[in-house]
Amino acid sequence: MLVAVLASGCLRHVGASGGVTIGAAASTAYLGEARYAEVLGREFAMLTPENELKWDAVHPTQGSYRFGPTDALVAYADQHGMQVRGHTLVWHQQNPSWLTAGGFTPAELAAILDDHIAVVVGHYADRIVQWDVVNEAFEESGALRSTVWSNGLGPGYIDRAFRAARAADGEAELFYNDFNIERAGPKADAVFAMVSSMRRRGVPIDGVGFQAHLTADFPANELVAQMARYEAIGVDVAITELDVRVPVPASDASRQAQAKVFGDVLAACRRAANCDTLVVWGFTDRHSWVPSVFSGLGAATPLDEEYRPKPAYDAMVAALQRT
C-alpha cells in the first residue's frame, strides 16, 4: 500500500501537473532520520525551515548570526531540487532576550530591524523564493498585537519590514502570514484592511499566507471567499502551515473528516487564480508541534507515525488529479 501509493502519486509530481507547489515545514532536528529525509525530498517540492530562521535561532546574540542550521536545510533542498520558503523575519515569539529586554530606543530598534532583515534576506537572496516578512501581527479582535515591535515603533514597523525585505531581495515574494484568517471575522478583516492599505500606498507586499492550522469541521467554502477578496485587489495567497488536528487516538471517521479538509483546502488553492503554493506544517504524525500544544489532539498531518499515507494524503493527491 505504502509503496504503491507513494510510488505512483508523489505529491510533488502530481502537484506540478496540478499547478500547485506542495511544500512541508522541515526541521534540522529530524533530517538525520533516514526515513524523514527520504520522504521529505521525495514528496515535497518546497521546504520551510520550521524554527531555524526565527530570531532566537538565527540571531541569538546582538549582531551575531547563526546560519548553519538553515544552510543545512538549503543544502538539502538543493540536493532534492526543492524551493525554499523563509519563515519568519518579524514575530512576537521566539525572540532572544537581548532583543526583548534590551531597553532600546525607537531609533535603535528601527536600526536593529533593518539590519536583521538586510543580513538574513541578503544571505538567502536568489535562493528563498517567498518570505513571511511579518507573522501574526494581529489579535483575534482585529487589534494590532502588542509586541516589542509595535510597542517600540508603532504600527509603521510593518511597512518598514516589507520595505527592508524588498531592498534586500528584489525578487522574492513578500508575504504577511497569520492564523485564523481562513474564515470571516474581525482578524481576517483587519488583515485585509492592512494589506489593501499597503497596496494603495505602494508598500511592497505580494501575498498573504493563510497558516491554516485547522480542525476537521473546517468549512472550506469560507476559505474560498477569503482568498477571492485578495484576488480582487491583485494580491497572491498561499496556504503556509496546513495541519488538521483531531482527537487522538484518531477514529476512522475523524481520519475521513480530516481528509476532506486537506482535499478541500488544496482544491480551493488550486482553483484560485492567486494561489499556487501549499505547505503542510509537518508531514508525519511522528514529528508535529500539535500534540505538545493541544492536549488530547494530534494526528494532524498527511502521513502517520510510520510515514504511511493516511486518507488525508490520498485526498491531496485526488484534489490535484481532479480535472
Residue numbers annotated as active site: 136, 241
Distances in Å between the Cα of 250 and the Cα atoms of 213, 284, 286 are 17, 14, 14
Report in angstroms how near the CB of residue 50 gets to ligand G3I at its nearest. Answer: 5
Q: Does 94 contact ligand G3I by CB under 6 A? A: yes
Kindly tell me which of 110 and 137 has the beta carbon lying closer to ligand G3I. Answer: 137
* 21 lines the binding site for ligand G3I (CB under 6 A): no
What is the largest distance, in Å, between two alpha-carbon atoms of the chain?
A: 60
Shortest Cβ 243–ligand G3I spacing (Å): 9
| Cβ distance to ligand G3I smaller for residue 21 or 211 | 211
Q: Does 251 bind ligand G3I (CB under 6 A)?
A: no
Query: Which residue from 43, 169, 206, 241 is in contact with ligand G3I, where contact means CB under 6 A?
Result: 241
Cα separation, 303 vs 310, whole angstroms? 5
51 makes contact with ligand G3I (CB under 6 A): yes
289 binds ligand G3I (CB under 6 A): yes
Q: Applying CB under 6 A, which of residues 180, 211, 277, 284 lies at the interface with ligand G3I?
A: 211
Binding of residue 61 to ligand G3I (CB under 6 A): no
Nearest residue to ligand G3I on Cβ basis: 289
The single residue among 39, 43, 50, 298 that binds ligand G3I, judged by CB under 6 A, is 50
To ligand G3I, the closest distance from the beta carbon of 242 in angstroms equals 11
- Cβ(216)–Cβ(258) under 8 Å? yes
Which amino acid is present at 35? R
Give min distance, CB of 76 to ligand G3I, in A: 18
d(CA 256, CA 36): 24
CB 136 within 8 A of CB 178: yes
Cα atoms found within 13 Å of the Cα of residue 224, Cβ hemisphere only = 10
Q: List the alpha helices (DSSP H) in the chain.
A: 2-8, 11-18, 28-31, 34-43, 55-58, 68-79, 97-100, 106-123, 148-153, 157-168, 186-200, 220-232, 252-271, 290-293, 311-321
Nearer to ligand G3I, 82 or 181 (CB): 181
Question: What string marks each residue from 129 to 158 as x (binds ligand G3I by CB under 6 A) or -?
Answer: ------x-----------------------
The Cα 179–Cα 31 span in angstroms is 27
DSSP for 230-243, please give it.
HHHTT-EEEEEEEE
Q: Rounded to an integer, what distance in angstroms lies between the CA atom of residue 60 and that of residue 74?
A: 20
- CB neighbour list of residue 309: distance below 8 Å, 6 or more residues apart: 1, 2, 5, 6, 302, 303
CB of 11 to ligand G3I, least distance (A): 20
Least separation, in Å, of the C-beta of 290 and ligand G3I?
Answer: 8
Which stretches of the chain bind ligand G3I, using CB under 6 A?
50-51, 93-94, 135, 179, 211, 241, 289
